[in-house]
Amino acid sequence: MTTSFRKTIDAMELDLISMGKAVEEAILSSVEALKHRDLQCAEKIIKDDELINERRWKLEDECINLIALQQPVASDLREVIAILNMITDLERMGDHAEGIAKIVLLLGTEEPVKSFEDIPQMAQIAADMLRRCLKAFVERDAKAAEEICKMDDRVDELHEKIYQELLNKMIENPRVITRATYVIWAAHNLERIADRVTNICERIVYFVSGSNPKDLNISRY
């Protein structure tokens, strides 16, 4: 590994962590906006998603240039590919947070169809998963990445609980169908965010160990 390669990778990792923090903030802010019907906050999240997208494309260009110019092999190449895949998942998480913000605008100031307890809990778990997985990447901790994957089960349980509760409300009162559907969409976005974090964790395991996550029984597939 050349000094130039290492310096470039280190800089890219810092940008990736910064992008991850921006995504985490967007996730938590979008749910706060949903909880409090904060339309101004929702609009800001939608606008700021462009900055997350720009970071993704900047890092992707850097990854492609690094592969073309440095021609890394073995673990060095796995590291570049890991970053390339991680930024794609992070960008999609930002899109899911933006989706929740758009739901806030759709709901406007209408009364909620359920108390907002489970959805913030989903957001907290997903954000915690993201924070931990980025730490696992920096520390090259494949074991921690494996453990983070298990947290996705709790997010799935909450998602199913919210879905069933809102489905029952729609059956009982058809007038809330539209509002309930919007909230189901919000919960689904959070469930997908947790899935994306799991993707990153699997990528970390592969990058660090060189082993296929399926061989370690942590893959969801």
The pLDDT of residue 120 is above 90:
yes
Domain extents in the chain: 3-216
Among residues 123, 117, 118, 127, the alpha carbon closest in space to that of 148 is found at: 127
The pLDDT of residue 97 is above 70:
yes
For 6-52, how does the pLDDT look when each residue is reduced to its tens digit (9 = 90+)?
899 999 999 999 999 999 999 999 999 999 999 999 999 999 999 99
The rounded distance, in Å, linking the Cα atoms of 7 and 10 is 5
The rounded distance, in Å, linking the Cα atoms of 198 and 110 is 34
The pLDDT of residue 219 is above 60:
no
Q: Hey, how many other C-beta atoms are within 10 angstroms of the C-beta on 195? A: 18
pTM: 0.92
pLDDT value of residue 221: 41
Question: CATH number of 3-216: 3.40.30.10, 1.20.58.220, 3.40.50.720, 1.10.150.120?
Answer: 1.20.58.220
The rounded distance, in Å, linking the Cα atoms of 5 and 81 is 14
Q: What average pLDDT does the segment 99-105 reach?
A: 97
**Which residues, 6+ apart, have CB-to-CB distance to 218 below 8 Å?**
146, 149, 201, 202, 205
For 71-91, how does the pLDDT look when each residue is reduced to its tens digit (9 = 90+)?
888 888 989 999 999 999 999
